[in-house]
Amino acid sequence: MSITAIQAVSPRSIHRYAAGAPAARQRPEADGRGNISLLRSSDTTLKFERNQTIYSEGERALFSYRVVSGAVRLCKIFSDGRRQISDFCLAGDFFGFASPDDYTLTAEAVNDTILVRYSSGQIDCLGQTSPDLRDQLMALLYRGLSDARNHLFMLGRQTVKERVSSFLLMMLERQGCAGRTGDRLDLPMGRQDIADYLGLTIETVCRALSDLKRAGVISAPSKRAIIVKNAGLLRAMALGEA
């Protein structure tokens, strides 16, 4: 698996979401032992506007980041203008720390976003001196590899209906919802971003969402809001069972 696949660390597992089991969210501050305070001594808070570039592929990987608010997309931009989004980073997610010498993806703000920036050298040094922090960072890397494998499965094997259904369940879980009927999902990204993550066209994504609405699986009170009307059927569609 390429190192590009683990630049974003945001725990996800398509099959577990579809089955309704929550994925563990692992972050360096999650264990309550205060290890994140080791990083706070060297952090810097930054604000980015919608679509502003945080770093570009090929730049020196001097910093790592944590999302405070807003959302970030990590993507590969090809010479002909095509774009493949590798991941979305939401509040609490770390990204950039798994890069080797240079960033291998481009990071952009999806909307108005606040980030905390850390020196990559500082993280490396602290990881060597703090076994607890090192173990937590390694757990994030392993989770990122699992996420990347599931994304490849989604792109290579799932149908359009399965991809879109899995994506909605994934985003529900990441926003702290259990994926039940009546849950509301507020998407930070637009349809084009979703299409570029799922390897589809924007027209295909819009048709798939319309099909889910007609089937009574979801409703969409606004452009970025989704309400789950039939959670069981949504999970079945994600698993290819409906």
Which residue among 155, 170, 185 closes a domain? Answer: 155
Q: Are residues 29 and 14 in the same domain?
A: yes
Q: What range does the domain containing 213 cover? A: 158-238
Q: Are residues 43 and 101 in the same domain?
A: yes
Other beta carbons less than 10 A from residue 141's beta carbon: 14
Calpha distance 164→194 (Å, rounded): 9
Which residue among 155, 188, 211 closes a domain? Answer: 155
Q: Are residues 150 and 167 in the same domain?
A: no
For residue 191, the domain's CATH number is 1.10.10.10
Calpha distance 28→221 (Å, rounded): 36
For residue 7, the domain's CATH number is 2.60.120.10
Q: Are residues 136 and 229 in the same domain?
A: no
Q: Are residues 103 and 20 in the same domain?
A: yes
Q: Are residues 26 and 122 in the same domain?
A: yes
- Residues 102-147 pLDDT 10s: 999 999 999 999 999 988 777 777 667 777 777 777 787 777 788 8
What's the total number of domains in the chain? Answer: 2
Which residue among 155, 171, 199 closes a domain? Answer: 155
Q: Are residues 120 and 173 in the same domain?
A: no
Q: Are residues 144 and 172 in the same domain?
A: no
Q: What are the C-alpha distances in Å from 166 to residues 15, 77, 240?
A: 8, 24, 10
Instruction: Name the least confident of 17-21, 76-80, 116-120, 202-206.
Output: 17-21
Q: Are residues 147 and 227 in the same domain?
A: no
**What token pair was written down for 22?**
């929550």
- Residues 4-44 pLDDT 10s: 333 444 333 333 334 333 333 444 444 333 455 556 555 78
Q: Are residues 41 and 111 in the same domain?
A: yes
